[in-house]
Chain A
């Protein structure tokens, strides 16, 4: 094992078997964050069994040699710890936080859970029923409904379009052999990254990581060959019909950039001008001038391939048509005319100075280092952020918008009550190529 300072600042330990350990120490609060992440994620789930990777990771708490699910839950709570599973297309991770004095006990418990899981059939059945209920319950949240509809429609046919949490159809299809096969393929030394942040001294990390991974089989990283997504041509409107909505959730999406693209940072800078701050163009026009929505923003996601660029706002039902129309006009203006030098200078100062809050806790710094590894980001993606932002010009930012944000390939997703908003929305999208209405519990 050897330790070296990683690009983003965390200490890095290469472990036997190809696993990687990271540490971002901080002794201000007696807490430790521990992340155990796979270098593969939900993009590897079979489409007909979407949700498999998440179910498999959640099954860790449902039994291991010598401990049943209830005993594991009792131990986690008794340690003053929290443990949760997070899933994305490129990674599945167990996130834990624990009172520092109980770190050893948590590591030993987690080591048992990952080295000798029992995957009891009864617990799998219970977890699947629980998951289906959670999916149904999430239909109470209109924003979540809109996000799911955007993801599956924008990336239809692509692994990014799979719902990492699964659907009410796919989750029941997952059986014990799927979970075991997932573990055999993905939970191997070369596919694991373990990261610590907080009240741990560097000398302890190699031994802690070795204990944690002692029972994990050797193996190389699972290859995950995700193709580059493509965007359907035309301007499509997808209305998710839900009764009695006084408000609508509006998302407008298209593809953004990949982190390794030359115009990635210029696009992020331009996006911050358009919809990344409280005084952005979107907020000024939609909230400040017209009071149509409590919020209006735009965000470019990052992953190993081009992720989505999405505009979000949520006006009252009676303002939905005009607000969608204005949003598209603003988008067209942005793509056609780009951004000004003055806007770029302003946002560069904001992005450079606010960088302090991206790195003000050990956990945030650790996550940056993790992301570099798990998402295959350029090594200086975060550590060189201020420099990269500083080198963007109005010309490069404008070119990034023009080249990447294709206003003729847009998908507008709206959650609202169709009888009230369908016609105003339809007429709000110039040259609309397709209008589809689906019920809010469609999957």
Chain B
């Protein structure tokens, strides 16, 4: 393995032939990533590159993370960040319509993208010897995307159909959207990443060009490469492909923090559905808060696995529910601690809520058992390892934690935090976050019973 000194020598060597300041390469040092080492590089135009050489399989994951998500939108223009997830596969100055995908497919690559509140990322999984194709294509669409009426109109329609699929005809998607809309009143987390339907249908090419010119810039992006690559050769190709793309001034965020919630909010959603559903969401910590890992452990004690308290109570013992889930939102700003319960067909959310409340009161009042804590930690350790099984899994972890927290090796710090959690820690976070006044309660009420619908 090359030493850090050799890496710096590579940078000097490559910089000898740099054609502009933007293409000057700097080595910013290593990060321990478990038993592996991740290397951080930076181009003169601000592009961050994180490389993890992983020769376990002849494949490479190439992820491009942009620090732009639905939090950067404004009312009336919601869904714009997500629309780009589609537009970015379109025509560019040097690639005709459909050529981006065909070139990747011809190389056997898989490609897709995802957008959420804090970020957007584009990913390719390629045979290792094809990595330079991803370099070339991603650099091209970072700066040379064509955004005219036909491209925008077609993708708006596709996104409208995606919204129908994920939200309008999906009762859980709809409930989730309504939950965040109700729980947040100021922060952009109150609108859905896919956008409101009327906003999607109203986008113009001018909206898209303005958004692209603002946020799609090397100094707002991090490229993560994990796989069987020759690091120096990769960096040389990246320098050549990205170096001439100018950096852009990224506007400072203009986000109003969510005011403290002081009273419980309740809402009902009436939709055709097989059963009632109950969502109880408390205001939670940001991903970077040390309480996040602790609340995640508490969520696991309550909802994770068949031995968890609420699974046993609601699904097994009382047979009120068919499914229970808990999740602490992994957002840059404080999000929600969501408790989801799906009632059995003949049971109601009204029957379930007191049982849930009682369980939540108990973790505020008493410490959980050491055996419960150990089980939760074991399950979370399993989940952490599962995320590192593939090159894509590693790249996703690295990119996500880099873009949200600026710490690409955070998954391992987080595992250490999970291991150190004590029963007293869990009671403390229960008392801090499971506060009735800071919660939103949503009930999904089936519009008509299944038997009626059958007639």
Say whether B169 faces chain A, with CB atoms less than 8 Å apart: yes
CB contacts (< 8 Å) of B273 on chain A: these are 140
Identify which of residues 322-378 in chain A touch chain B, using a CB-to-CB cut-off of 8 Å.
Answer: 346, 349-357, 359-361, 363
Say whether A426 faces chain B, with CB atoms less than 8 Å apart: no
Known: A70-B312, A356-B127, A360-B59. A439 touches B101 (CB 8 A): no
Q: How far is the CA of A31 from the CA of B393 in the complex (A)?
A: 15
A442's contact among B160, B305, B454, by CB below 8 Å, is which? B454
| B160 to A, closest residue via Cβ | A316
Say whether B210 faces chain A, with CB atoms less than 8 Å apart: no
Minimum distance in angstroms from B417 CB to a CB of chain A: 17
Say whether B26 faces chain A, with CB atoms less than 8 Å apart: no
CB contacts (< 8 Å) of A89 on chain B: these are none
Say whether B162 faces chain A, with CB atoms less than 8 Å apart: yes
Q: How far is the CA of A353 from the CA of B126 in the complex (A)?
A: 9
Minimum distance in angstroms from B291 CB to a CB of chain A: 23
CB contacts (< 8 Å) of B450 on chain A: these are 136, 139, 441
Known: A288-B154, A357-B110. A441 touches B161 (CB 8 A): no
CB contacts (< 8 Å) of B102 on chain A: these are 279, 346
Minimum distance in angstroms from A82 CB to a CB of chain B: 7
Say whether A246 faces chain B, with CB atoms less than 8 Å apart: yes
Identify which of residues 94-125 in chain B touch chain A, using a CB-to-CB cut-off of 8 Å.
Answer: 97-98, 101-102, 105-111, 125
Q: How far is the CA of A77 from the CA of B319 in the complex (A)?
A: 21
Say whether B371 faces chain A, with CB atoms less than 8 Å apart: yes
Say whether B386 faces chain A, with CB atoms less than 8 Å apart: yes
Say whether B37 faces chain A, with CB atoms less than 8 Å apart: no
CB contacts (< 8 Å) of A357 on chain B: these are 59, 108, 110, 125
Minimum distance in angstroms from B179 CB to a CB of chain A: 17
CB contacts (< 8 Å) of A349 on chain B: these are 106-108
A356's contact among B59, B344, B381, by CB below 8 Å, is which? B59
Minimum distance in angstroms from A280 CB to a CB of chain B: 9
Minimum distance in angstroms from B227 CB to a CB of chain A: 10
**B169 A77 Cβ-Cβ under 8 A:** no
Identify which of residues 31-58 in chain B touch chain A, using a CB-to-CB cut-off of 8 Å.
Answer: 56-58
**A356 B57 Cβ-Cβ under 8 A:** yes
**B169 A352 Cβ-Cβ under 8 A:** no
Q: How far is the CA of A65 from the CA of B11 in the complex (A)?
A: 65
**A292 B105 Cβ-Cβ under 8 A:** no
CB contacts (< 8 Å) of A315 on chain B: these are 161
**B274 A139 Cβ-Cβ under 8 A:** yes
CB contacts (< 8 Å) of B128 on chain A: these are 356
Say whether B9 faces chain A, with CB atoms less than 8 Å apart: no
**A350 B108 Cβ-Cβ under 8 A:** yes
**B169 A247 Cβ-Cβ under 8 A:** yes
**B106 A346 Cβ-Cβ under 8 A:** yes
B271's contact among A98, A133, A244, A352, by CB below 8 Å, is which? A244
| A439 to B, closest residue via Cβ | B454
Q: How far is the CA of A99 from the CA of B130 in the complex (A)?
A: 34
A353's contact among B97, B108, B391, by CB below 8 Å, is which? B108
| A241 to B, closest residue via Cβ | B453
Q: How far is the CA of A61 from the CA of B316 in the complex (A)?
A: 13
Indicate the member of A77, A291, A353 with the most B CB atoms within 10 Å.
A77
Known: A31-B389, A294-B162. A130 touches B307 (CB 8 A): no
Known: A99-B385, A242-B272, A315-B161. A77 touches B109 (CB 8 A): no
**A294 B169 Cβ-Cβ under 8 A:** no
Say whether B294 faces chain A, with CB atoms less than 8 Å apart: no
Say whether A80 faces chain B, with CB atoms less than 8 Å apart: yes
CB contacts (< 8 Å) of A287 on chain B: these are 158
**B385 A291 Cβ-Cβ under 8 A:** no
Minimum distance in angstroms from B93 CB to a CB of chain A: 19
Minimum distance in angstroms from A145 CB to a CB of chain B: 10
CB contacts (< 8 Å) of A289 on chain B: these are 154
**B307 A73 Cβ-Cβ under 8 A:** yes
**B375 A244 Cβ-Cβ under 8 A:** no
B305's contact among A70, A73, A277, A363, by CB below 8 Å, is which? A73
Chain A 29-72 interface 0/1 with B at a Cβ cutoff of 8 Å (1 = within):
11100000000000000000000000000000100000001100
**A247 B165 Cβ-Cβ under 8 A:** yes
Known: A78-B371, A137-B323, A316-B160. A73 touches B108 (CB 8 A): no
Say whether A16 faces chain B, with CB atoms less than 8 Å apart: no
CB contacts (< 8 Å) of B156 on chain A: these are 291
Say whether A81 faces chain B, with CB atoms less than 8 Å apart: yes
Minimum distance in angstroms from B104 CB to a CB of chain A: 9
**A291 B107 Cβ-Cβ under 8 A:** no
Known: A99-B385, A350-B106, A353-B107. A316 touches B161 (CB 8 A): yes
Minimum distance in angstroms from B149 CB to a CB of chain A: 13
**A279 B385 Cβ-Cβ under 8 A:** no
Minimum distance in angstroms from A332 CB to a CB of chain B: 24
**A352 B164 Cβ-Cβ under 8 A:** no
Say whether A173 faces chain B, with CB atoms less than 8 Å apart: no
Say whether A134 faces chain B, with CB atoms less than 8 Å apart: yes
Say whether A97 faces chain B, with CB atoms less than 8 Å apart: yes
**B108 A355 Cβ-Cβ under 8 A:** yes
Identify which of residues 384-443 in chain A touch chain B, using a CB-to-CB cut-off of 8 Å.
Answer: 439-442
Say whether B171 faces chain A, with CB atoms less than 8 Å apart: yes
**B389 A134 Cβ-Cβ under 8 A:** no
| B448 to A, closest residue via Cβ | A243
Say whether A129 faces chain B, with CB atoms less than 8 Å apart: yes
Chain B 347-390 interface 0/1 with A at a Cβ cutoff of 8 Å (1 = within):
00000000000000000000000010011001101100110111
Known: A99-B385, A126-B319. A243 touches B108 (CB 8 A): no
Say whether B345 faces chain A, with CB atoms less than 8 Å apart: yes
Say whether A183 faces chain B, with CB atoms less than 8 Å apart: no
**B322 A291 Cβ-Cβ under 8 A:** no
CB contacts (< 8 Å) of A278 on chain B: these are 101, 105, 111
Identify which of residues 433-452 in chain B touch chain A, using a CB-to-CB cut-off of 8 Å.
Answer: 447-448, 450
B345's contact among A29, A136, A142, by CB below 8 Å, is which? A136
Q: List 22 A-B contacts (CB under 8 A).
A: A26-B56, A28-B389, A73-B305, A73-B307, A76-B305, A77-B306, A78-B374, A80-B378, A81-B382, A99-B381, A102-B378, A134-B322, A139-B450, A243-B448, A247-B164, A247-B169, A316-B160, A316-B164, A353-B106, A353-B107, A356-B127, A439-B453
Report, nearest first, the 5 A-B pairs whose CB atoms are least far apart. Answer: A353-B108, A291-B157, A80-B378, A354-B108, A73-B306
